[in-house]
Amino acid sequence: MKNQRILVAGGTGYIGSHTVVELQEAGYNVVIVDNLSNSNMEVIDGIEKITGVRPDFVQADCTDMPAMEKLFDSYPDIRGVINFAASKAVGESMEKPILYYRNNLNTLMNLLEQMAKHGTKGIVFSSSCTVYGEPDENPVTEAAPIKKATSPYGNTKQISEEIITEVISAGAPFKSVILRYFNPVGAHPSAEIGELPNGVPQNLLPYVTQAAMGIRKELSVFGDDYPTPDGSCIRDYINVVDLAKAHVIAVERMLEDKSDDKVEIFNLGTGNGVSVLELIDTFEKATGVTVPKKIVARRAGDIEKVWANPKHANEVLGWKAATPLADTMRSAWAWQQKLRERGIM
Ligand code: UFG
């Protein structure tokens, strides 16, 4: 049943590209659609180097309905969709809310409409633990309450989950698996693909590797006065290849009708809470490289602590985040070194 066609929207991005690799390794045919707003064509070369297969690529914006119509018409064999195509910077979303609502919501609605027209079996959707806000208790299960979003970005994830659920309960002829990611980090072990932050990194690990490389003077640790064991915030850092593998399982689950539920939701995390200072320490020990850093004030809007209870995904999907954090840190550093070799950063 493999060698079926999967449309990966946002497939040249960070999580998308790692997922395309895993899909191809599992025998699926992939067509990527991406507008390259936050990625580039070299990612396709990286995917081809790793897998030996060059995925089909269509450069288009998913908010462009005629372009999506054309895409689905020219690939009548699309059986499933994975949607990574979205803007994802929390801070930017505060400044440009319309951009975020338009990009993230119109993309989703266009894909759903085309899927219904073309008989696509299901959609895997990239959601986020941001829907839980500051959780009342950790680790967080899928039953934890959804908290009011604190950014337009976070709100697009909540609304997207609602759109999918409502469209399917209104009778749309497809299924969905909604995946709530915790903090994806690291790169493919080949160092052929990885995270390519645009400008100054907003996320922790890209900043760590850039500070370690000397691209940034020092890492600012946003607060050491939180009520946590070492005073820094706690997250659940999940290896991006482990995360990508969950998508392959989710796709297979939909295409092979393994569940009676039309919409399923899974947390994707390791189940381990790791503080900012612990993450830096793990990076330094794993790579032997020192990260210049200073403690600064808290960052507005930060969650104090959040980590996953991944039991539902472990048991139902038979998936587990397996990569040790030290290996993930080494993969991120190898990728940073590769970017330096190529003269990119
Ligand atoms: N941090 C620093 N210094 C930095 C960057 C981050 O100390 O330069 C700290 C943050 O304060 C936070 C931790 O590192 O405590 C993780 O920060 P990230 O920005 O990497 O990740 P967040 O958990 O804040 O945000 C991520 C995604 C969002 C998503 C959210 C869900 O970036 O898209 O997880 O919780 F919404």
pLDDT tens digit sequence for 22-37: 999 999 999 999 999 9
Percent of the chain with pLDDT over 70: 99
* End-to-end C-alpha distance for the chain, whole angstroms: 42
Q: Say what the pLDDT of residue 3 is.
A: 86
Cα(232)–Cα(212) distance, integer angstroms: 20
The yes-or-no verdict on residue 170 having pLDDT over 70 is: yes
Determine if the peptide bond prior to 206 is cis (ω within 30°): no
Residues 101/241/176/39 CA torsion (nearest 10 deg): 30
**Cβ(168)–Cβ(175) under 8 Å?**
yes
Residue 198 confidence (pLDDT): 84
Per-residue pLDDT tens digits for 152-166: 999 999 999 999 999
> Which tokens belong to 122?
């299901």
Query: In whole numbers, what is the pLDDT of the chain averaged over residues?
Result: 97
pLDDT in tens, 235-287: 999 999 999 999 999 999 999 999 999 999 999 999 999 999 999 999 999 99
- pLDDT for the residue 242: 98
Phi, psi angle pair for 93, to nearest 5°: -65, -25
Which helix (DSSP H) or strand (DSSP E) does residue 283 occupy?
helix 276-287
Ligand 1 pocket test: pick from 129, 204, 210, 282 the residue with the most ligand atoms within 8 Å of its Cβ.
204
φ/ψ of 168, rounded to 5, equals -75, -40
Measured by CA distance, the residue closest to atom 35 of ligand 1 is 130
Q: Tokens standing for 90?
A: 């929390």
Give dist(CA 270, CA 258) in Å, integer: 24
Q: What value does the mean pLDDT take over residues 77-106? A: 97
From 92, 279, 299, 304, mutation site for ligand 1 pocket: most ligand atoms within 8 A of C-beta: 299
Contact 5, 118 (CB under 8 A): no
Give percent of the chain above pLDDT 90: 97
Closest CA to 128 of 167, 165, 186, 87: 87
Q: Is the pTM above the cut of 0.95? A: yes
Interval 292-311: pLDDT, tens? 999 999 999 999 999 999 99
d(CA 284, CA 104): 36
Task: Say if ligand 1 is within 6 A of residue 90 CB.
Answer: yes
Single out the catalytic residue among 28, 100, 132, 153.
Answer: 153
